[in-house]
Amino acid sequence: MTSEFVRLEVADGVGTIRLDRPKMNAISLQLQAELRAACAEATERDDVRAVVVYGGERLFAAGNDVAEMSEMSYVEMVRATRGVSEASTAIAQIPKPTVAAVTGYALGGGCELTLACDIRIAAENATFGQPEVLLGIIPGAGGTQRLARLIGPSKAKDLIFTGRFVKADEALAIGLVDKVVPADEVYTEAVAWASQFKGAAALALRAAKECIDRGLEVDITTGLSIEQQQFAAVFATEDRAIGMASFLANGPGKAEFVGR
């Protein structure tokens, strides 16, 4: 599909999913569809080994398109809700390491997109929040679920119930972000993190991510069963043979993986 607001840029093994809908990267239904397509492309492309989700130098995304939503009836929203949720889920389901590079505002749907990434690197000027209750609604793209899993239910309830904004230093303290850097270093830091994986054992990373993400949704016995299945499965990969042979010959960290 032709994309107006979202593009996938690939360089040296790192794919950047760039949101670009001036002025505030408001997340419209069209942007959501384009984001799902970009995530599908990043998943399929063998030259993409890790993904950065980025809203640009000024801000990440200030939220869903309220003007668009305000005109929607209950019936229309019932039809649209699945797509709203699937945009963030599309990021979460990329079977490769993902990192949100956050500058400025990441609010509402924008915050939910960051929650779908594996880690979040924020600018010192970043501001997060789930202010939906201030509009008489609730988060609808994973905020009530992923936020509670990330920072715990009490902190998640505080943010969602009050709709208050969280600056970068507090976001780091409560575990909402993983690293805070100067604004002009955010994208570079995110790319550096993603670049670690351009020569990694891609199928092992995929298996590890699936074990962690699926394990969080089930009891520990089921989680351990998932882990056991994935542990055995990676023994069918070329990278497992390469990695073990390299370890025996040269010690750890010297294998040259092929991603198969």
In sequence order, the 6+-apart residues with CB closer than 8 A to the CB of 124 are 168, 180, 181, 182, 183
> Is residue 202 packed enough to be buried (19+ CB in 10 Å), middle (13-18) or exposed (0-12)?
buried
- CA nearest 113: which of 155, 85, 138? 85
Task: State both tokens at 86.
Answer: 């699937």
Rounding to the nearest 10 degrees, give the CA dihedral for residues 123, 143, 196, 40: -120
In sequence order, the 6+-apart residues with CB closer than 8 A to the CB of 69 are 77
Q: Which residues are catalytic?
A: 112, 132
| DSSP label of 3 | -
The three-class DSSP label of residue 129 is strand
Task: State both tokens at 187.
Answer: 């994208």
254 upstream amide cis, omega within 30 of 0: no
